[in-house]
Amino acid sequence: MDLTELYQSVILENNRRPRNFRKLPTANRVAAGNNPVCGDELTVYVQLEDGRIADISFEGAGCAISQASASVMTQRLKGRSVAEAEALFARFKDIVTQGVPDEEDLDLSAFSGVHQFPARIKCATLGWHAALNAVHGEAATATTE
């Protein structure tokens, strides 16, 4: 397979220039995620207001898949309700585990090549697990194990 199927331009670009890559001073929810296999480590900050994600950011270090996925995630989750966030994560999981792109969501679909690299699925979902843990107020570190 062509490597650009895994590392689509959206991923390379978000890895080089991650969006919302900072601490969030207004955050009232924080959760960490780590993937002991890869050594990916990130922290997701959420400002939750009346069941909506008013603002969201992340910090950390890891492979291009984990960094780009977290970057895209922060863009897609900002302004969403908790229920919407959960639905989006479910859709994203389908994309990365089954490789079926979502025609209406090109940014999430950029991760469809991940399903051919089973070891990397954990990298792609790490930020999402941490974000939903933060939203649900689960303090424990999200791991991909």
Partner 1 sequence: MKPPAFAPDWAALRADFPILDQTVHGRPLVYLDNGATTQKPRAVIAALARFYERDNANVHRAIHELSFRATTAYEDARARAARFINAASPEEIVFTRGTTESINLVAYVFTPRLQPGDTILLTEMEHHSNLVPWQLLAQRTGAHLRFVPVTGDEGLLDLRRLDDLLSGKVKLFAFTHVSNTLGTINPVAELCARARAHGVISLVDAAQSAGHLPLDVQLLGCDFLAFSGHKMAGPTGIGVLYGRRALLDSLEPFQGGGEMIASVQFEESTWNKVPHKFEAGTPDIAGAVGLHAAMDYLEGVGRAAIGRHDEELARAACDRLRGIPGLRLLGPTEARGAVVSFALAGIHAHDVVTFADQEGVALRGGHHCTQPLLRKLGVPATTRASFYLYNTPAEVDRLAEVISQAAKFFGARD
Interface ranges with partner 1 (CB under 8 A):
1, 3, 6-7, 12, 15-18, 37-41, 61-65, 67, 117, 120, 123
- Residue whose CB is less far from partner 1, 71 or 109: 71
Minimum CB separation from partner 1 for residue 69, in Å?
A: 13
- Residue whose CB is less far from partner 1, 15 or 109: 15
Minimum CB separation from partner 1 for residue 37, in Å?
A: 8
Minimum CB separation from partner 1 for residue 113, in Å?
A: 11
Distance CA 2, CA 101 (A): 17
* Residue in 47, 51, 45, 55 with CA at minimum distance from that of residue 79: 55
Crossing angle of the two packed helices 64-77 and 82-98, in degrees rounded to 10: 150
> Which helix (H) or strand (E) is 55 found in, with range?
strand 52-61
- Residue whose CB is less far from partner 1, 17 or 23: 17
Helices first, then strands: H and E counts in the chain: 6, 4
